[in-house]
């Protein structure tokens, strides 16, 4: 299984009054991880958008395990859980620099035409990218 990693430094603005990372920031970090995975595989979100498509989020699921705090570094690990005709499910682990898991998550995406938001089979618009995802998916 191919796993991409992206290290981030936690900024003060990402924390709440308790001094821990505000929960909504994990979704932003997941997008950083997803973008890094795509880049690591040799593709780009811009490439998809220039072709007239976007990939909206259909579902997000996060389980928080151990708080992250300002000044710490976090690593976002991202992989493909599954690739179906219309849906891609990404998996994530957000971990402390010592490997302690801070959160686990998944996000589910589809590809749609930018002009009308109608779903399109990913394989039809970019078979190379689609097949790479199928190849490295955790669930085959």
Output the pLDDT for position 1: 84
Residues taking part in catalysis: 16
DSSP state of 78: E
**Torsion from C-alpha of 34, 38, 44, 47, nearest 10 degrees:** -100
pLDDT digits (tens, 9 = 90+) for 55-68: 999 999 999 999 99
Residue-level pLDDT at 140: 74
What would the DSSP string read from start to end of 7-66?
A: EEEPPGGGB-TTSBB-TTHHHHHHHHHHHHHHHHTT--HHHHHHTTEE--EEEEEEEE-S
How is residue 56 written in tokens?
A: 């909206």
pTM reported for the whole predicted model? 0.96
Q: What is the mean pLDDT of residues 22-36?
A: 97
């Amino acid at each position: 299984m191919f796993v991409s990693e992206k290290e981030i430094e936690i900024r003060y603005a990402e924390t709440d009054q308790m001094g821990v990372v505000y929960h909504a920031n994990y979704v932003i970090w997941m997008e950083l991880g997803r973008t890094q995975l795509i880049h690591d595989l040799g593709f780009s979100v811009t490439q998809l958008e220039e072709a007239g498509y976007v990939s909206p989020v259909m579902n997000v699921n996060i389980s928080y395990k151990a708080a992250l705090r300002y000044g710490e570094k976090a690593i976002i690990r991202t992989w493909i859980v599954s690739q179906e005709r219309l849906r891609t499910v990404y998996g994530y682990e957000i971990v402390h620099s010592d490997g302690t898991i801070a959160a686990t998550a998944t996000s589910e995406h589809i590809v749609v035409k930018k002009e009308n938001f109608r779903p399109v089979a990913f394989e039809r618009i970019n078979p190379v990218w689609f097949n790479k995802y199928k190849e490295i998916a955790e669930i085959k």
